[in-house]
Structure formats: structure tokens, C-alpha cells
Amino acid sequence: MSHAPSDTRPRVTLPQLQQWKQEGHPLAMLTAYDAPTALIADAAGVDILLVGDSVGNVCLGFETTLPVTMAMMNHHVEAVARTRPAALLVADMPYLSFHLGVEVTLRNAGGFLQRGAQAVKLEGGAKRLPMVRALVDAEIPVMGHLGLTPQSVNAMGGFKVQGRAEADALAILEDAQALQEAGCFSVVLEGIPADLAARVTETLRIPTIGIGAGLQCSGQVLVFHDLLGLLPQRPAKFVRKYMEGFDLMRDAAARWAQDVRSGAFPGPAESYKLPEEIRPAVASWQPGLRR
Ligand code: KIV
């Protein structure tokens, strides 16, 4: 079945994702943080838009995702939701939005749904099961996130590939199983060996979405700005740039600045004209002289 870009493509639903997983149809998920990125990714026909807390690194200048708040996330979720994408819209639960108890978690996640998200994502395994169960009970679809979970940067001692030691690999397999049984509709696998991700994927009924987790996941996710090459720093090993966006956009801005300085911008095509009949009055007007 094709889910190519179309103005009229039907909205992606959870049953549709599950069906694509069963048919072996790989799922494509991209981050979007604002209206332009959402419109572009949706027009490209991606299946899932994630308003990721990576907005903190990518758009807000933070070194980690830890300072990202619900207020910041709500602002970006609303911007993406206003574009009414056909892709499934998933909102990422930021640090501390799901750690303080079930009630706060429900309020935060429910707020995302009231702003137009269709599902939420949260990081972590066994420790998060009470929250996941409560969300699912409250009709809030949940995407899990295992492996290199960026909100655990301090506990992990840096952004390091996870699941290389036997105990860690088995814990990821068990956490994935537990998230599925708690009702998650999908799990992101980030920064783990490809063969471990393949094993997680074959042991689950629900789709896995990989980032730095090899080809054998049910789908893939990338940060859109990484794919576009918009960020000046060296990307992670798992990123493939599909354009050099930073260079292209810098060159466009430099050409515009050059045109401003040389008087080539704006030209007649970018300017407005007075109607012929009022030109004489405007030309003869003098300060202090009233008609
Ligand atoms: O915040 C984010 O962008 C993410 C993806 C990398 C999965 O969590």
C-alpha cells in the first residue's frame, strides 16, 4: 500500500501504523517543531511527526534536553498542530513532566492531546510503567523510548551507545516487552546495536522506530534539522544528511545582504507603486503646509 504525499491523504491512525508494521511496510517519522517544518515533512508524506524535546538542542540553544519545560513543548505542539498534518502527531514528554506522579503526568499528557497531539512519547522502561498504564487507561496513546534516552544523559555518563553489555541488552529486551504489555503502541529504540534492535523488533507485536539502531526496526526517525544539514556542528554517526541546508541558507542570506548593500534589492518587482492620480499631491506635499 502506498502512503505517498497527497493533499488529501487520510490522517494516519494507530491501527494504520499497526497494519503497516504487520505488512512489513517501514514507517517514517521526523521531528517537527514549528509550522514550516511540519508543513514540509507532512507534504513529503512522512507517517509520524514528533514534536521532540530535541527542540531544546535544535532550536533553543540548550546543550541537553533537560531544561525543556512543558510550557516550551506546548508552544511548539500548538504550532505544529495548527498545520493540521495528515501524519500522526506525537508530542514528547519533557524531563520532569512524567516523574512527579501519575496525576501530573496525566494532566501534562492530556494537555498535549487538547492542543492537537494524538499521542505522547516518554523515555524509560520499567520505572515508567505506572505512568504508561495510567495514560493508556485515560485513552492517551503512548510511544515508549529505550536505549540512549537523552534525558538520562547524566545517569549514562554522556550520550553513549547503550545495550552493549549482556545485562543492559537483556534489560532493553525486557523493558520493551513490559512497555508493550503496559499498552504502548510503539517504541523508539535509540543508540543501540543494530542486532539488539532487530531482536527487540522480532519479539514485539508493536512497531519499533529506530534512530541509531540499524535497519531491522519497523521504522526510522531522524531529527529533521539533521536530515536537512541545518546544524553547523558535526552530526552523530547515525545521521544521513540529504542536503547541506546550513551552507545553502547561509549562501542565500549572504546573496541577499550583498544585494541590499549594492542597491539591487528591492527591485521594481518587489515594490509597490502609488496610483498615478495621487502622485502630484504626494510630490508637492511639504511639511507644515496644510491644504
Ligand atoms: O526528541 C527527539 O527528537 C526524540 C527523537 C530523537 C526520537 O526523542
**Segment 61-70 mean pLDDT:** 97
Running DSSP on this structure, what letter comes out for residue 194?
A: H
* pLDDT, mean over the chain: 96
H helix or E strand, kind and range, residue 210? strand 208-211
- pLDDT at residue 148 tops 90: yes
Pocket residue to mutate for ligand 1, from 95, 121, 222, most atoms within 8 A of Cβ: 121
Distances (CA, A) of 257 to 95, 231, 250, 253, 266: 40, 21, 11, 6, 11
Contact 12, 87 (CB under 8 A): yes
- The pTM of the whole model exceeds 0.75: yes
CB 101 within 8 A of CB 128: no
Give the pLDDT confidence score for residue 289 in this predicted structure.
73
Distance from the Cα of residue 129 to its chain's centroid: 23
Instruction: Give catalytic status of residue 190 as yes or no.
Output: yes
What is the predicted pLDDT for the residue at 6?
47
**28, 21 contact by CB (below 8 A):** no
For residue 216, the cross-strand partners are none
Over residues 245-255, the mean pLDDT reads 98
Q: Which atom of ligand 1 is nearest to the CA of 65?
A: 1
pLDDT digits (tens, 9 = 90+) for 168-202: 999 999 999 999 999 999 999 999 999 999 999 99
Dihedral sign computed on CA atoms, order 150, 153, 159, 162: negative
User: Cβ distance 187 to 27 under 8 Å?
Assistant: no
Task: Check residue 109 and give its pLDDT.
Answer: 98
Residue nearest to atom 8 of ligand 1 (CA): 52
Q: Quick one: cell of 109?
A: 499528557
Is residue 1 predicted with pLDDT exceeding 70?
no
Determine if ligand 1 sits within 6 Å of the CB of residue 188. Answer: yes
